[in-house]
Amino acid sequence: MLRQEKRQRNKTVSFERNQTLSSNVPRAVHMVYCYCKTALENGRKLAFLLDHEVFADDYEVNLHFEDISPLYHLEPISGNCIVVYIWHLYKKMVKENKIEKFRFVNPHSIPNLQKNIHDKTGKTEWLNKRASSLADKLSGAAMDQVVLVPSCCGFHWTLTVIEPYKEIVYLVDSLSHRIRDEDWIYVVEMALRLFNSTKGRKGRKRVQWEVIKAPKQPDAKKCGYYVMRFMRQITEEVTTLEGDSLRSIFTKTGYSMEEIDEVRTELAECIQNHIYE
C-alpha cells in the first residue's frame, strides 16, 4: 500500500501543475488546500500522533501535500487521509460515549498483496502475514464490539465489518454487491481462525459472509470517500448488528455530492484543528 501511495504522489505532482483553484469545493477543504500548498512545500509534512486507543498502538500518520491535493480536486484519496478521518470519527465517538461499540483497524497495518510475488508459496506466506496482522487487531476487540476494517485491493477501497466473536463478516463495497476478492476472503477467514485459537474457542465451521447493498459510486475515483461515508453512517446510526440493522441504514443507490462534501469537510476541519491547536 505504501508503494501505491508513492505512485499516487508522483501522479499528483504532474496532475497539480495543470490545475487551478476551484470555488466549487467546501470552504474548509479550500482553506486547508491553500495552507498546505505553501506550508508543505519541498516534502514537508503534517504529523498526527494518534491516541494509543485508536488502533491499540502508538501510531503517527504523516500528511504531505500529495495527500491534500486529491482531497481538494476530488481525486482518489490516500490511505493517510482515511486514517486521519478515522481519528476524527474516534474523537467524535469519545464525546458521544460510543467508543465501546466500535473498533477500527489501521489499513496500513494490513498492506495489500505485493504484485511481485508470483509463486504460490510466496503468495500464501504473504496472505498469512496479512491474516496474522488482522488477527492481532481482532484480538483486542470486546465481546460485543464491531470491528471496522477499511482495506485497499489494488486501487479500490472497501469496508469490511467484522463481529469476531460471532464470526460474521459484512462487506460494504461501493463498486459491487458481490464478493470479488478471493484473497481477502482467505485473509479474513484465516484471521478469524487465528483469533479463535488465541481465545481458546472452537469457532463455527464456516464464517458467515453478508454482502451489504450499499450506495454505489458514480465513477472510478470516489471509493475512498464512500468508505469514509460508510464508516460515518455506521458509527452514527448502528447501535447493534442484530437482524438487518446494517442493511437498513443503507437505503440509497448512491451518495449525493453534498453527502460526499460532508465527509471532505469533516476531514479538512480535523486537519485544520490539528494545524491551529
pLDDT band with cut points at 50, 70 and 90 for residue 62: very high
pLDDT over 60 at 18, yes or no: no
Predicted local distance difference test score (pLDDT) of residue 144: 86
pLDDT band with cut points at 50, 70 and 90 for residue 148: very high
Predicted local distance difference test score (pLDDT) of residue 16: 45
pLDDT over 50 at 17, yes or no: no
pLDDT over 60 at 159, yes or no: yes
pLDDT over 70 at 146, yes or no: yes
**Is the model more confident about 68 or about 1?**
68
pLDDT over 60 at 11, yes or no: no
DSSP run (H or E) holding 63: strand 59-63
pLDDT over 80 at 241, yes or no: no
Query: Mind listing the pLDDT tens digit for each residue in 179-233?
Result: 878 899 999 999 999 999 999 998 888 999 999 999 999 999 999 999 999 999 9
Query: Mind listing the pLDDT tens digit for each residue in 29-56?
Result: 999 999 999 999 988 999 999 999 999 8
Predicted local distance difference test score (pLDDT) of residue 213: 92
Predicted local distance difference test score (pLDDT) of residue 14: 43
Q: Residue range 148-164: average pLDDT?
A: 93
Residue 23 phi, psi (nearest 5): -90, -5
Lowest-confidence pick of 171-185, 208-222, 249-263: 171-185
Residue type for position 135: A
Cα 22 to Cα 9, 26, 74, 77, 258, distances in angstroms: 21, 10, 11, 18, 16
C-alpha cell at 74: 476530488
Cα 107 to Cα 25, 79, 157, 234, distances in angstroms: 27, 7, 10, 18
pLDDT over 50 at 12, yes or no: no
> Exposed/middle/buried for 200, CB within 10 Å: 0-12, 13-18, 19+?
exposed
Cα gap 44→157, rounded to integer Å: 27
Compute the half-sphere exposure of residue 273: CA atoms within 13 Å on the CB side of its CA. 11
Cell 491499540 belongs to which residue? 56
Cα gap 131→245, rounded to integer Å: 27
Query: Mind listing the pLDDT tens digit for each residue in 74-124?
Result: 999 999 999 999 999 999 999 998 888 999 999 999 877 666 666 778 888
C-alpha cell at 275: 494545524
**Number of neighbouring beta carbons within 10 Å of residue 14:** 8
Predicted local distance difference test score (pLDDT) of residue 239: 73
54: left (phi over 0), alpha (psi -120 to 50) or beta: alpha
Predicted local distance difference test score (pLDDT) of residue 122: 81
pLDDT over 60 at 20, yes or no: no
Predicted local distance difference test score (pLDDT) of residue 57: 87
Predicted local distance difference test score (pLDDT) of residue 121: 80
Nearest to 82 by CA among 274, 271, 276: 271
Helix axes of 182-199 and 120-138: crossing angle, nearest 10 degrees: 50
Give the chain's mean pLDDT. 88
Predicted local distance difference test score (pLDDT) of residue 66: 96
Residue type for position 72: Y
Cell 505532482 belongs to which residue? 13
Q: Residue range 128-133: average pLDDT?
A: 94
What domains appear along the chain, each with residue ranges and CATH number? 2-276 (3.40.395.10)
